[in-house]
A and B are shown apart, each in its own frame.
Chain A
Amino acid sequence: MAAAESSERLVRLLTHDSEILDRWVEAVAEILRGRISRAELERELTDLYQALGQALREGGLNWRAEEYSEVRALLVELSRNRAQHGFTPTETATSLFACKDVVAPTATSSAEDISAYLQLGRLLDALGLFTIEAYARTREEIISAQAEQLLELSTPVVKLWEGVVAVPLVGTLDSARTQIVMEKLLQSLVDSESEQAIIDITGVPAVDTEVAQHLLKTVVAARLMGAECTISGIRPQIAQTLVALGVRFDDIVTKATLADALRYVLRRIGTEPAATGGPK
């Protein structure tokens, strides 16, 4: 029954002093310097402390065991919380590692206590790594969610006039983004019953053959739906580069600025813009 004995000793090490939890909270509060409320921290660590004690009693040192499922769940929640509130990985992990300092042996500790401390230390190290992994996972989730939001945000389709929609493109155009642009543009042509679309590439830093090909495909798709596409925002350096590349926008109307494109489109649909602007 050596295992049971050793886990008994570990539990004793963790719970021999009623102040251990308080000192743990104190130590963590100092590291996080008031960026998390004391009450919340106390609640978090009390739950963790109790779960840890219980898990040690029932499951021994194997932190992957079933008995530790509550500890693991609490740690995942803790790191998720920390990641969302912008704490660093170090600050997150020390929430756990601080416990080691609190139960550290003193000069008067017995040999059994010291060996128990070392075992507990190893366990907490493993749980610390687990915490960091959970933290990193949460951060990755946040980043990929942001990337998706950005993708959505960066491709608005705006209605410029009755029957005229425009997509101002900003940033790098890759296949994934062009796909979204094309879908949104074609859908909005249907929704707004527009027959004219303007794709503005003023904000696209470089137009290479892939981008050009994507633009051409979008124009052809719009044409199949009976809509006419104008590409605007072709700056001098882009024009010269496209010529050198050998890309031809032969039968597509292109304009230097969005204003030129709008003026052209309005003329096409027979609405001359008034001096003050606004549809007649």
Chain B
Amino acid sequence: MTRLAEDVEQTVPIVSNDDVVRARQLVRTLAQQCGLSLVDQTKLVTAASELARNTLVYGGGGAMHCATVRRDGRRGVHAVFEDSGPGIPDLDLALTDGWTSGGGLGLGLSGARRLVDDFELDSRTGVGTKVSVTKWAR
């Protein structure tokens, strides 16, 4: 699971709805650089959109760190979404389709997991939540 960072990591603060759009645009640019197919680009961008919005809405704001990476000759995009919000008390429940603590469809987090290749969720109640995702070029 060694992942080599190719480029300097870029950070987008996520404190408003406009930042969600900015985060999405950065991810799209990197995905195009890595040569991800159009379908994979759209999947990754959509996942980034979900996670960035979660950071904003449920985490009370945070940041996205994003970089292109390389592993076994394959290129990919790695993105980390971090907030210091209330955290997720029950990870299994949060990853259940259709379950939401807010007013959404309850598919954002679980859907994002299906849209990317690697998905890591780390959350501690009262400390914050960190979601790392990677999408590899085929």
Contact = CB atoms under 8 A, between A and B. Distances in A.
Interface in B21-74: 21, 24, 28, 38-39, 41-43, 45-46, 49-50, 53
A207 B17 contact: no
A210 B53 CA distance: 9
Contacts of B104: 209-210, 213
Given A245-B111, A245-B115, A240 B39 contact: yes
A247 B107 contact: yes
A240 B107 contact: no
A205 B43 contact: no
B39 A245 contact: no
A174 interface: yes
A206 B114 CA distance: 16
Given A237-B38, A246-B97, A209 B17 contact: no
Interface in B98-138: 104-105, 107-108, 110-112, 114-115
A240 B111 CA distance: 12
Given A236-B39, A240-B39, A206 B24 contact: yes
Nearest to A176: B17
A245 B46 contact: yes
Nearest to B105: A209
A229 B69 CA distance: 43
A37 B9 CA distance: 49
B117 to A, nearest CB: 12
Majority secondary structure of chain B interface residues (helix, strand, loop or mixed):
helix
Contacts, number: 65
A162 interface: no
Given A174-B17, A208-B53, A246-B97, A241 B46 contact: yes
B41 A237 contact: yes
Given A174-B17, A237-B39, A213 B24 contact: no
Interface residues of A, number: 20
Nearest to B43: A241
B105 A213 contact: yes
A240 B105 contact: no
Contacts of B49: 206, 208, 210
A73 B42 CA distance: 52
Contacts of B105: 209, 212-213, 247
A246 B110 contact: yes
Interface string A219-261: 0000000000000000011101100111100000000000000
A179 interface: no
Q: What 7 pairs across the A-B complex have the smallest Cβ distances?
A: A245-B111, A237-B42, A208-B49, A237-B39, A244-B114, A209-B105, A246-B107
16 contacts: A175-B17, A205-B42, A206-B45, A208-B49, A208-B50, A209-B50, A209-B104, A210-B108, A212-B105, A213-B104, A240-B39, A240-B43, A241-B46, A245-B50, A245-B107, A246-B114
Interface of B: 17, 21, 24, 28, 38-39, 41-43, 45-46, 49-50, 53, 97, 104-105, 107-108, 110-112, 114-115
